[in-house]
Structure 1
């Protein structure tokens, strides 16, 4: 099942058991039983700032056991490598509003590219 959620009001429509509110300003303010529980963590931080990337990285490492998929602006790639050992992959996210910043997808595992079209 896929649900398109665009705004915080859309998220509030979900049953409480299916949604955990997350604020990157409180990186580990998530349920304790989520710690180290996810084989893959996918993140798309809301801002292209050192603070936002750093706090999101804290959450990603808190939640995940192994694989990280991280979509952000290309200008943040060095920080992503330093914080999480992420490398740019051939998949590049696109935005329908043609945002000015160039975006990329980074992961901590090379096999990701094997599943992407050439």
Structure 2
């Protein structure tokens, strides 16, 4: 059964050219200071074929993550596995098996 917790706070940060007015991809830490180091759980889903994007997402994650005990779920492709481990200091620990065929892993 799904339990709801009204004290749980969620913040969605999205970058897409259609949303450019809300942030600047070229400045990954250009975020409100009240968000700095205040998240215990971060889910990031950057375009996995872009090395530059992963580097900038890493900067944003570092800005947002609580300095103690934060968790990161990074959704990326196999092409970025080693780079993600290098940048974030964590290996890939889950590889899904998909029923549909994708153009890349």
What's the TM-score once normalised by structure 2's chain length?
0.67
Aligned-partner Cα distance in 2 for 1:33–1:93 = 38
Higher relative contact order (CA 8 A, sep 6+): 2
Cα deviation code 1:43-75 (max 9, x no counterpart)? 000351110100000000110112111001111
Of residues 73, 93, 98, the one that matches 2:77 is: 73
Q: What count of residue pairs does the alignment treat as equivalent?
A: 87
Judging by fraction of residues, say which structure has more strand: 1
Indicate the SS of the match to 1:38.
coil
Q: RMSD of the alignment, in Å?
A: 3.1
Q: Which stretches in structure 2 are left out of the alignment for 5+ residues?
A: 5-15
Aligned-partner Cα distance in 2 for 1:93–1:71 = 14
What's the TM-score once normalised by structure 1's chain length?
0.60
Task: Report the equivalent of 2:43.
Answer: 42
